[in-house]
Chain A
Amino acid sequence: MNTDASALQLVLAVDPTLVAIVLLSLMVSLSAVLIAAVIGIPLGALIALTRFPGRGMAIVALNALMGLPPVVVGLAVFLLLSRSGPLGSLGMLFTPQAMIVAQAILVTPIVAALARQTIEDLWEEYRDEFAAMNVGPVQRIGTLIWDGRFSLVTALLAGFGRSAAEVGAIIIVGGNIDGFTRTMTTAIALETSKGNLPLAVGLGIVLIAIIIAINALAWWARRTGERYAG
């Protein structure tokens, strides 16, 4: 990376290294959110729609897991994926995949907890109609997820915000390798440590702009969608 460029130049000029870092950041965060959605939404739905002993505890635990400390997750994934760890033979440590795994662990509880709340509220509302229409369990879950989709997107955005802003876990499991596992946040950490504060600030501005852009996109999609589906 051209360390002599000023923050503004870096933001305006399309630096290929910066583009690669941005793309990797997006790839890692969005993959983590995708995995979190695939696991978290059905999990949230399951907890919302079933009654079992210890359910209250499960909900409290899920809500608490939203605040998992990233470094602890990073460390746990690190120990798991290390060559000397139980999954060492996968050779996944210090790869983007390892970062995705760590972030998926951080984001899944957020998505699951928010999805549970959304789906449970909707379920309260729909429950009588479903019973009267004799809707089967699969169609039931599908309908609740589909009708709750706008709120669920907000849950996914919350997860995306967490993963895009996160540095503690991915710097441990990714190793911040130049051109391979260096993301926006780890690059900011590195440039700060090099005393290259203008570049760090520039990267920070880019990161915030991207997060805002994605949220704006989601907001626009939601508004458009609601106009037609309400």
Chain B
Amino acid sequence: MIIRRILIATALCLSLFSPQRSIAQDKSIVVASTTSTQDSGLFEYLLPIFTKKTGITVKVIAQGTGQALDTGRRGDADVVFVHAKSAEEQFLSEGQSLKRYPVMYNDFVLIGPKSDPAKIGGTSDIAAALKSIMAKGAPFISRGDRSGTHIAELMLWKQAGIDIEKEKNAWYKSIGQGMGAALNTAQASSAYVLSDRGTWLNFKNKNDLQIGVQGDKRMFNQYGVMLVNPDKHPNVKKDLGQQFIDWLVSVEGQKVIGDYKINGEPLFYPNANDSGA
């Protein structure tokens, strides 16, 4: 009697594995993307529109840009949708993808506590603000996770003439987590943090955080999308993946991106036509 029970249980388990799998492979793609894209709410808005039109389910894995590119390198995703141009070009040069498509941009904002211990209020010069933070030893939260935002942050320190690897001290905390976690940490410890605007606008736990610096051209944040090279990873669903990319850069897809707003403020600016982006 017990043996029969065990057999039934095993059969149940096995049956659980097979049919679901076939559904999963039915017209769906895996997109490795960034936490900021997910946390901004863009996918929740955009994907249902795409799925309704094409019948393709898009499964999004939200990671840091570097991790998302690695997911593509291992062949675990069909499409990568990230924001760090230099890392993307590296990906292309490795032959991991054959073409990069610019999709949209938004900008980074420097977030800080309303008390503004580094006295950066009002400036739109990010380099000056960072220098002031360092000079005052005001707490600063870094993503520290090789994400697009992290890479951008490191670039901004460099452009401000600061070798952050050398200068960093107790005031500079690298947390190795996503954008939302970094904002939560900054909120809890009254620290400065670099965020993409989309995540910031969608962030619910702002409390006494506010935008410190915005509008500096150096804080421009370009998103690109790439199909993982099917010659390297035969399992890549190149037709479905390409369909997704084509839609994102199409007139319709670009309009949907531009239409996504929080409190009337757009989060992303479509620029697929800007071939230099």
Interface residues of A (CB under 8 A from B): 1, 3, 27, 31, 34-35, 37-38, 42, 82-85, 88-89, 91-97, 100, 138, 142, 145-146, 175-178, 180-181, 190, 192-198
> If A35-B13, A97-B21, A146-B2 touch, does A194 touch B59 (CB 8 Å cutoff)?
no
Interface of B, secondary structure class, is helix
Instruction: Identify which of B87-95, B127-135, B179-187 touches chain A.
Output: B179-187
Asked if B62 is at the interface of the complex by the 8 Å CB criterion, the answer is yes
Residues on the A chain within 8 Å of B222, using CB: none
A83 with B202: CB separation less than 8 A: no
| CB-contact partner of B20 in A97, A190, A192, A196, under 8 A | A97
Residues on the B chain within 8 Å of A93, using CB: 76
B203 with A94: CB separation less than 8 A: no
> If A38-B10, A176-B62 touch, does A193 touch B184 (CB 8 Å cutoff)?
yes
Residues on the A chain within 8 Å of B1, using CB: 142
Q: How far is the CA of A84 from the CA of B235 in the complex (A)?
A: 11
Q: How far is the CA of A123 from the CA of B157 in the complex (A)?
A: 68
A192 with B76: CB separation less than 8 A: no
Residues on the B chain within 8 Å of A180, using CB: 24, 57, 59
Residues on the A chain within 8 Å of B235, using CB: 83, 88-89, 91
> If A37-B9, A97-B17 touch, does A195 touch B74 (CB 8 Å cutoff)?
no
Chosen A-B contacts, 17 in total, with CB atoms closer than 8 Å, are: A34-B12, A37-B9, A42-B6, A82-B74, A83-B235, A84-B76, A178-B47, A178-B60, A190-B38, A192-B181, A192-B184, A193-B177, A193-B184, A194-B202, A194-B204, A195-B180, A195-B183
| CB-contact partner of B233 in A38, A83, A94, A194, under 8 A | A83
Interface residues of B (CB under 8 A from A): 1-3, 6, 9-10, 12-13, 16-17, 20-21, 24-25, 30, 35, 38-39, 41, 43-44, 47, 57, 59-62, 74-76, 177-181, 183-184, 187, 202-206, 233, 235
> If A34-B9, A197-B205 touch, does A83 touch B179 (CB 8 Å cutoff)?
no
Q: How far is the CA of A85 from the CA of B76 in the complex (A)?
A: 10
B17 with A177: CB separation less than 8 A: no
| CB-contact partner of A193 in B24, B61, B181, under 8 A | B181
Closest to A37 in B: B9
Q: How far is the CA of A42 from the CA of B2 in the complex (A)?
A: 11
Residues on the B chain within 8 Å of A181, using CB: 59
Closest to A101 in B: B17
Q: How far is the CA of A213 from the CA of B35 in the complex (A)?
A: 34
Residues on the B chain within 8 Å of A177, using CB: 30, 59-61
